[in-house]
């Protein structure tokens, strides 16, 4: 067996040989590994692997090791075959198994899946003017994927940015479930008395999904009941650049189909197992890249710091400077939800890691809520910054499905075609917006963005071949 500790060959040669040796041991091809998403549900094993670098990540991921976190040179991983850990040890790595989480729903700290559904139904029944509860589909084992809509005019489509929190796509990462329920209760109970909460409910369409992976949560497993890591199953701009639900886990397909019908501007997905805000990109064409910046990199940094600076333990993290990290800077992931949201939907999303322990004692939950309450509200408020407006047909006044791009930034956002409203978060400065819609003449208009509430720029577009003369200086209402 080739030993990692005796690298007398060039690094690239060693990695090729090591990968080939492990693939041969398990009698699979790289293509077969890519196609086989089947971790045995309820039988996956976690471990720490010591002394790991970027090249090792690429090698080990190709043979079925699922990376869950990097902490210095120490990696937390999952495998679906304990024998694989034995072979990893033979390569010279030091492997330490992590005891499996046993779900504990006693004592009222963590709700059962059934209790969670009942609690959400009770909240919706008690506050019909502020919230509506929806099931966007069923998990593999038939459990509802609940999502709650919160707004002051909850049955009406308004000129408002849409925001979402989705928690616990990994079933053994549980803190977010409780914190989302705490947040929902806070929004309901403090509306009308707390100015910050009242502003958010009045001016933002808020969506909260406390639990994306109910089957995994019920079993104490990272994976869904098919053995799929849901945060590796979304379309990926590098490895899987087809934005379709075909062949994906039901939970992923349901979230995608729901998102296609919405126009979310800002979102976050909640995890545990670390303490940081992780921003895109998670993947990169270069498997050895140390950073992968979006066209909105500085904006993502500022938005991530908005969250971490109000969470003292996170901001003072030992592993993450100021409590934030670029995804690839931490470790490379293909098929993650945050990259999919940004690349295909024009929605800024980050991954928030709430606690180093995945399933902490219930006694710690009140302290974690206190650490995160202010951060969660401040992060939501970000979707009210930048530039916003409504795009309409100049002749009819009807709302349009339009695309908005800041000139010089290679990224698009989109209107909500129901109302025609767009919301482009951007840092303070002077810009030009290019507005396009199929069948209409494009517009390019200047806009000045401040640090407070979003600048408003409403725009009417002229149909191609229309009789109206284009007057760009008069058809944008800037204030």
**Residue-by-residue DSSP string for 109-157:** SS--HHHHHHHHHHHHHH-TTTEEEEEEEE-TTS-EEEEEEE-TTTTS-
Domain match, 367 and 263 both:
yes
Domain match, 443 and 296 both:
no
Q: Of 459, 378, 447, which Cα lies nearest the Cα of 408?
A: 447
Name the strand (E) or helix (H) holding 16.
Answer: helix 11-25
For 306-333, b/e burial (b = at least 16 CB within 10 A) is: bbbbbbeebbebebbebbbbbbbbbbbb
Q: What is the pLDDT of residues 155-188, one digit of tens each?
A: 999 999 999 999 999 999 999 999 999 999 999 9
Structural domain span for residue 463: 387-478
Domain match, 118 and 243 both:
yes
301 to each of 279, 337, 348, 413, how far by Cα in Å? 8, 18, 11, 19
* Burial environment of residue 194 by CB neighbours within 10 A (0 to 12, 13 to 18, 19 or more): middle
Domain match, 364 and 391 both:
no
* Burial environment of residue 374 by CB neighbours within 10 A (0 to 12, 13 to 18, 19 or more): middle
Q: Which of 359, 384, 409 is the last residue of a domain?
A: 384
**Res 475 pLDDT > 50:** no
With respect to residue 72, please indicate whether it lies within any of the assigned structural domains: yes
Domain match, 47 and 139 both:
no
Q: Of 103, 330, 26, 78, which Cα lies nearest the Cα of 228?
A: 78
Locus of tokens 């939501």: 380
The larger pLDDT score, comparing residue 467 to residue 10, is at 467
With respect to residue 103, please indicate whether it lies within any of the assigned structural domains: no
CA 258 to chain centre: 15
The domain that contains 304 carries what CATH number? 3.40.630.10
Domain match, 380 and 392 both:
no
The larger pLDDT score, comparing residue 478 to residue 6, is at 478
Determine the average pLDDT of the residues in 277-301.
96
With respect to residue 1, please indicate whether it lies within any of the assigned structural domains: no
Q: Of 384, 410, 354, which Cα lies nearest the Cα of 205?
A: 384
Tokens of 345: 């939907």
Strand duo 387-393 + 421-424: pairing: antiparallel
Domain match, 262 and 326 both:
yes
Query: Looking at the DSSP assignment, which residues form a beta bridge with residue 477?
Result: 458
Domain match, 279 and 327 both:
yes
The larger pLDDT score, comparing residue 18 to residue 161, is at 161
**Res 34 pLDDT > 60:** no
Res 91: pLDDT: 83
Domain match, 404 and 357 both:
no
With respect to residue 209, please indicate whether it lies within any of the assigned structural domains: yes
With respect to residue 6, please indicate whether it lies within any of the assigned structural domains: no
The domain that contains 20 carries what CATH number? 3.30.70
The total domain count for the chain is 3
With respect to residue 441, please indicate whether it lies within any of the assigned structural domains: yes
The catalytic residue among 87, 353, 427, 470 is 353
CA 135 to chain centre: 20
What percent of the chain has pLDDT above 70?
87
**Res 455 pLDDT > 80:** yes
Q: What is the pLDDT of residues 46-74, one digit of tens each?
A: 999 999 987 788 788 877 899 999 999 99
Domain match, 61 and 148 both:
no
Q: Which of 98, 127, 153 is the last residue of a domain?
A: 98
Res 42: pLDDT: 65
Q: Which of 98, 122, 141 is the last residue of a domain?
A: 98
- Residues near 3 by Cβ (< 8 Å), separated by ≥ 6? 90, 91, 92
With respect to residue 226, please indicate whether it lies within any of the assigned structural domains: yes
With respect to residue 5, please indicate whether it lies within any of the assigned structural domains: no
The larger pLDDT score, comparing residue 2 to residue 417, is at 417
Domain match, 373 and 421 both:
no
Q: What is the pLDDT of residues 387-412, one digit of tens each?
A: 999 999 999 999 999 999 999 999 99
Q: What is the pLDDT of residues 183-214, one digit of tens each?
A: 999 999 999 999 999 999 999 999 999 999 99
Res 39: pLDDT: 60
The domain that contains 450 carries what CATH number? 2.60.40.1120
Determine which of 144-153, 389-398, 404-413, 466-475 has the lowest per-residue pLDDT on average. Answer: 466-475
pTM of the model: 0.90
Mean pLDDT of all residues belonging to the chain: 89
| 398 close to 391: Cβ distance less than 8 angstroms | no
Domain match, 309 and 219 both:
yes
Q: What is the pLDDT of residues 60-118, one digit of tens each?
A: 887 789 999 999 999 999 987 788 888 888 888 999 999 887 787 866 689 999 999 99
Q: Is 157 a catalytic residue?
A: no
């Amino acid at each position: 067996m080739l030993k990692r500790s005796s690298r007398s060959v060039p690094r690239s040669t060693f990695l090729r040989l090591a990968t080939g040796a492990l693939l041969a041991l398990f009698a699979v091809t790289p293509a077969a590994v890519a196609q086989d998403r089947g971790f045995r549900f309820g039988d996956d094993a976690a471990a720490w692997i010591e002394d790991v670098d970027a090249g090792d990540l690429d090698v080990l991921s190709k043979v079925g090791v699922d990376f869950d976190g990097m902490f210095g040179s120490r990696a937390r991983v999952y495998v679906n075959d304990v024998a694989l850990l034995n072979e990893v040890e033979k390569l010279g790595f030091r492997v330490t198994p992590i005891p499996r989480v046993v779900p504990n729903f006693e004592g009222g700290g963590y709700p059962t899946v059934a209790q969670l559904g009942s609690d959400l139904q009770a909240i919706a029944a008690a506050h019909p003017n502020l919230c509506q509860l929806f099931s966007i589909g069923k998990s593999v084992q038939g459990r509802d994927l609940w999502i709650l809509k919160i707004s002051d005019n909850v049955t009406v489509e308004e000129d408002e940015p849409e925001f979402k929190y989705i928690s616990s796509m990994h079933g053994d990462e549980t803190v977010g479930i409780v914190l989302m329920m705490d947040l929902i209760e806070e929004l309901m109970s403090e509306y009308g008395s707390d100015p910050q909460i009242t502003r958010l409910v009045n001016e933002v369409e808020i969506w909260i999904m406390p639990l994306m992976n109910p089957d995994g949560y019920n079993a104490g497993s990272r994976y869904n009941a098919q053995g799929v890591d849901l945060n590796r199953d979304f379309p990926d701009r590098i490895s899987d650049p087809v934005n379709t639900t075909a062949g994906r886990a039901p939970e992923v397909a349901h979230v995608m189909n729901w998102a296609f019908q919405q126009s979310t501007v800002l979102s976050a997905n909640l995890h545990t197992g670390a303490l940081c805000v992780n921003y895109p990109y998670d993947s990169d064409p270069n498997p050895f890249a140390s950073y992968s910046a979006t066209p909105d990199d500085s904006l993502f940094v500022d938005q991530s710091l908005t969250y971490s600076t109000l969470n003292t333990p996170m901001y003072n993290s030992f592993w993450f400077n100021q409590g934030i990290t670029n995804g690839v800077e931490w470790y490379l992931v293909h098929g993650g939800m945050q990259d999919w949201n940004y690349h295909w939907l024009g929605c800024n999303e980050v991954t928030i890691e709430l606690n180093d322990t995945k399933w902490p004692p219930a006694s710690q939950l009140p302290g974690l809520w206190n650490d995160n309450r202010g951060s969660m509200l401040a992060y939501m408020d970000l979707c009210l910054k930048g530039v916003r407006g409504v795009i309409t047909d100049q002749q009819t006044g009807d709302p349009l499905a339009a695309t908005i791009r800041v000139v010089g930034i290679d990224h698009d956002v989109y209107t909500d075609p129901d109302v025609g409203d767009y919301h482009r978060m951007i840092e303070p400065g002077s810009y030009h917006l290019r507005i396009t819609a199929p069948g209409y003449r494009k517009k390019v208009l200047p806009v000045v963005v401040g640090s407070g509430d979003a600048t408003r720029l409403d725009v009417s577009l002229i149909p191609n071949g229309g009789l109206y003369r284009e007057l760009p200086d008069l058809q944008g209402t800037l204030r």
